[in-house]
Structure 1
């Protein structure tokens, strides 16, 4: 398992022109975790089928006076049942998180996205740092130098994703939360496709 560190601030989308199947459908989503109560997660594929967007409407990490250990770290585990044209396999390429953060000087926030495929070896981890001295909307991205590919030989894959965010130290008042404009914490995932 390798950990990918923060790379850049994103000013726009991450999409790249990659060969992709004509059809990609999210057939089912199951969620589990303190950051995504039932009904608070939504997943869509973009029209080019080269990206997924996961929107979490109740994801809030808080530290400081009056908070508890359950507030300091949140996670959301999603299992995505994806259906697409036969003859392809895909991997996660880039990931970006957009939301709101208040991280004072002397504090540090971090988010980690992990991806794996049911029935295939390997896991890819992306790490995004939210340094202190931040107050407002953020959009941060990471790009791995390794890949895990969905299995070949079919037209479906189960993509497992786990988003975790936390803040330290917990004594300082700080926040990682949904963006005030969109009312979502959004995880954008670019997909790389190849023929089997």
Structure 2
């Protein structure tokens, strides 16, 4: 399997700030973000409360096989003041397909730590790329922060980013013979 990020659109992934790598066993791929942070409070801009990243991924699979996203490991960091809330939403779908897998996770302050979550899709809900088709896998992640009743002079944020580059999103694939 090989993978290329053919498009990266959104306020959470300006050009050149998202990258994809494939695991040596071809059972997963990782998306790394370097500027994906939503924030409120202090010196935040009016549009900083919501960031999204829509990726178009060209996944090349061996002939005679197809794949589906089976699970996704999300990691990041959040600092939420008491009364603040954050949401991480994800959407996965193949170009031209109506079926969209979507997930949502909420965090409430006070919170100041790494966060991790795994989205798992059951066998009956796996959405395989139709055999022989060549379509992009679209992945859209969104981060939102709401200050709520928190002190607006203090910053609250959620990120899919880290200074050491170790907090990535890992996509596990299920293979099927055509």
Fold-level similarity (TM above 0.5): yes
Given the alignment, which residue of 157, 163, 177 partners 2:141?
Answer: 163
- Asked whether 1:180 is paired with 2:163, we answer yes
Normalised by the length of structure 2, the TM-score is: 0.86
Label 1:28 to 1:72 Cα distance change in 2 as closer, same or farther (>3 A): closer
Q: Is the 8 A contact 2:68 2:173 kept in 1?
A: yes
Given the alignment, which residue of 111, 119, 127 partners 1:148?
Answer: 127
In structure 2, how many angstroms separate the alpha carbons of the residues matched to 1:90 and 1:62?
Answer: 35
- Tell me which moved more, 145-154 or 63-72: 145-154
Cα offset, 1:91, TM superposition: 1.1
- Asked whether 1:49 is paired with 2:18, we answer no
Label 1:89 to 1:109 Cα distance change in 2 as closer, same or farther (>3 A): same
Structure 2 spans left out of the alignment, 5+ residues = none
Q: Is the 8 A contact 2:37 2:143 kept in 1?
A: no
- Asked whether 1:92 is paired with 2:69, we answer yes
Q: Is the 8 A contact 1:111 1:128 kept in 2?
A: yes
In structure 2, how many angstroms separate the alpha carbons of the residues matched to 1:96 and 1:130?
Answer: 16
Normalised by the length of structure 1, the TM-score is: 0.79
In structure 2, how many angstroms separate the alpha carbons of the residues matched to 1:76 and 1:191?
Answer: 21
Label 1:114 to 1:144 Cα distance change in 2 as closer, same or farther (>3 A): same
Structure 1 runs of 4+ with >4 Å offset: none
Cα offset, 1:97, TM superposition: 1.6
Matched pairs, number: 171
Deviations, residues 3-54 of structure 1 (Å, cap 9, x unaligned):
xxxxxxxxxxxxxxxxxxxxx0114421100000111110011111111110
